[in-house]
A and B are shown apart, each in its own frame.
Chain A
Amino acid sequence: MLLAVGGIVVMSRTTPGFVDLTAPFVSQGEPGEWVNTRTFGVRVDKPYLVRMLRQERFGRVEERTTGGVWVIVKVDAVAIHHPGMIGAFAIETREGKRYQHTERIRLPSQVGLLGRELQPEMPVPALLVFEVPENQIMDLTLIAGEREIPHLTSEARIPLRWSTPSPAIRDSVDLST
């Protein structure tokens, strides 16, 4: 009886919690190299920092500013083995805060990745757009997830590297071009 109770106590203290038990399967890598999960691969090309985005839609030029900075990440993406989509993108800061892919910008289907079906062995270039506080632009990590709810799904994590210790922030970029 005592053994059983002791066993239960030990197990309750050593058994991982629900979040750990259902954590995503993470693949990590560096910019410029393919980071492959079970279902997709992603490669980070270059990140950019911008204060204002311009985009022509329905014959009008729309400008979008932000309280922080826009982080634009050029990536390549491909499906692994079967066609599929990458369900979620986020930027994670040094403090562990996550910022999801913006919904304020509608990227053309040839450039965006959300909702786009990928095929094996045929990578496609794409842009990802995030809003991040300006004081947290160092040590950012791109997270690409198979689904928005990450339990027991594939996830790729790639740090964003800047070419200088104080990366330049462009005044504006026209996404239409």
Chain B
Amino acid sequence: MLLPLALWTHACEDVAKAWQAHASEAIDVVGFDETIAFAGLNWTMLGWDIAIDPKKPETVEVTVQVQLEIPSPEAAKARGNCWPYLEDSSGQRWSRRPPRSREVSCARLSLNADPEIKQTVLEERFVIPAARASDVKLAFVIPKQQPRYLRFQRPAPPKPAGS
């Protein structure tokens, strides 16, 4: 009886940490243009564009823009690493393409914390299977906030004119 108790006392903290690492709790942002506070910053999705390459019809490129209000450079640095994903309804994820030279990406934000900047627009690009384009949401995973993570709904496509 003492042995299981000793094992549990020794291991329960590690078990809790492992459980937390695998758990996930999405904070869903339903409305386009809705602002939400997360990890000390205010997040607002501004844009969601889909581009199709006729030479590669099986995939699409999704480009998203998210506005961040940064109360202080310390808030940006304290946030630490930031990993954007597109996530489908089964929890499957796709990671972003490497940022181009002028793009402000989530990962670079904490590295380049300019004290003058109070607001910035993140641009993240993804290449995903075309079949998943209508099923994905934009997720931001910040390790320090786990198991909670932020998830934006894909905006509804505009209705055709005349309908």
Contacts and interface: CB of A to CB of B under 8 A. Distances in A.
B127 A82 contact: no
Contacts, number: 24
Interface stretch (A5-13, A114-122, A137-145, A155-163): A114-122
Interface size class of B (residues with CB under 8 A): 10 to 19
Contacts of B127: 119, 122
Interface residues of A, number: 8
A120 B93 contact: yes
A82 B59 CA distance: 17
A81 B93 contact: yes
A119 B88 CA distance: 13
Contacts of B59: 122
B95 A119 contact: yes
A92 B59 CA distance: 36
A117 B132 contact: no
Nearest to A119: B94
Nearest to B83: A83
B9 interface: no
A119 B92 CA distance: 10
B158 interface: no
B129 A121 contact: yes
A114 B52 CA distance: 29
B4 interface: no
Contacts of B129: 121-122
Interface in A71-88: 81-83
B58 to A, nearest CB: 8
Contacts of A82: 92-93
Given A119-B128, A122-B127, A122-B129, 9 more contacts: A81-B91, A81-B93, A82-B92, A82-B93, A83-B94, A83-B95, A120-B93, A121-B129, A121-B132
State the 9 A-B residue pairs at the shortest beta-carbon distance, nearest first. A83-B95, A121-B129, A82-B93, A120-B92, A119-B94, A81-B92, A122-B129, A83-B93, A117-B95
10 contacts: A81-B93, A82-B92, A83-B85, A83-B93, A119-B94, A120-B93, A121-B129, A121-B132, A122-B59, A122-B128
